[in-house]
A = this chain, B = another copy of it.
């Protein structure tokens, strides 16, 4: 015999509404994944139309009167506002509704169209190493971003640039970012000088040429060991590695391979795997579509990818295990003469690079700081778009001692601005900082962590992240989560300690 279900409450209806929107957004993500991995070349025009159609429907749902009414009803219910999960949901839905509603539909459409066309112009400009082809689009992108910021600006975020950052890292400001970046920058510049005075490292073991199918097998083996569930995901080749958490039971990653890049493939695989472990660990089975089953911020997301890439994947104990696995996959002949110590050093070589995504753990953050400073200056119109290439090259010369040979290796290297993503870059360094803080705190709870890694056991590391980070979804803001776990907000000191110790170990 079945009992009639009780009538649905406003909160039930709100959650159902959020779930329907999330399903539609998951469809959008599935199409985006397909576009990067599977879609035939001639399908691109229709795909742009499909994505625009879905984006419009998602935006309409996220700003609908139905949603606003349900939310208001829930906000007057004390039982909900005193419940930790429900109140976090209400807080974040309110935040998104208010933000999205302040954007005129016309502006949303124009930003979407400009980013579709701007990306094509950027691809061409980068291929031809000709900034002038992208310059008008970059001008338009920053003009639109400025208009967007003017719509979003509130008393909480009076600075234009902060209103943009807030979209990627809720609650973050540029003042707070400067405060955190300043000591890290000084430390990095000094340590880089220091490294240059020390004996150099032999890069050879990291760039031995190995077959790509075996590189895929090796990366797969490591990802399985760290806990990525391939029954709820898959890994495909793509030009730029990425992770898409489509929804419950489906979190996909991509990776890229070069014959002489087996350790790079492992690093980017573990990076995307780290993002994927976060997505797979969010409580989507029960709360799909609700903020409490969503990632907190890009900074926290990046902390998960960086932790697995750097704190685990570039550590000495890890290579004690991983080299043996590599020998099994690639055959002892190819890696027979390589020691774990030599590989550890090679995988941690510090060498300034024009390209952000090819940079080492230390100099990477200088790339981010450059972008943070320039974006802010462009939004505030202290820097003219036309002056960007010259300023960029001067800063690279100053920070890294390199002469940028052309704009493709300079200010045209990143896809972000062409996509209209302004205010995003700083979250990469937030991720590095949070990763080091989490790793240091975790170390106190797991004193035998190094020995576990040498044995290829990563279950306790993952379990700690699951409990402390993944399972909470957006219950807290990023810095509050960090405070709850580590006893303080964002602090670059553990990252500096980590980098100093690494340099001392690798460069003696």
Contact = CB atoms under 8 A, between A and B. Distances in A.
Given A30-B31, A43-B232, A46-B250, 14 more contacts: A26-B50, A27-B50, A30-B30, A38-B234, A40-B234, A40-B252, A41-B232, A41-B249, A42-B229, A42-B248, A43-B248, A43-B250, A46-B288, A47-B250
A54 interface: yes
Contacts of A494: none
Contacts of A107: none
Contacts of A464: none
A46 B248 contact: yes
A252 B40 CA distance: 9
Contact of A249 (B44, B54, B231): B44
A247 interface: yes
Nearest to A233: B40
A23 B232 contact: no
Contacts of A250: 39-40, 42-43, 46-47
Nearest to A250: B43
A120 to B, nearest CB: 16
A341 interface: no
B27 A232 contact: no
A180 interface: no
A26 B40 contact: no
A408 interface: no
Q: Nearest 4 A-B pairs (CB), nearest first?
A: A43-B250, A42-B249, A42-B232, A43-B249
Contact-residue bracket for chain A: 35 or more
Identical copies of this chain, number: 2
A53 B23 contact: yes
A50 to B, nearest CB: 5
A38 to B, nearest CB: 7
Interface in A125-159: none
B41 A231 contact: yes
Given A23-B53, A27-B31, A42 B247 contact: no
A49 interface: yes
A45 interface: yes
A123 to B, nearest CB: 18
A20 interface: yes
A34 interface: yes
B24 A53 contact: yes
A249 B232 CA distance: 30
Contact of A23 (B34, B38, B46, B230): B46
Contacts of A249: 40-46
A246 interface: yes
A34 B39 CA distance: 11
20 contacts: A23-B46, A23-B49, A24-B53, A30-B30, A40-B232, A40-B233, A40-B249, A40-B252, A41-B232, A42-B229, A42-B231, A42-B249, A43-B232, A43-B248, A43-B249, A43-B250, A45-B248, A46-B246, A46-B249, A47-B250
Interface string A41-74: 1111111011001100000000000000000000
Interface string A173-192: 00000000000000000000
Highest count of chain B CB atoms <10 Å: which of A20, A41, A250: A250
A41 B231 CA distance: 6
B40 A231 contact: yes
B49 A246 contact: no
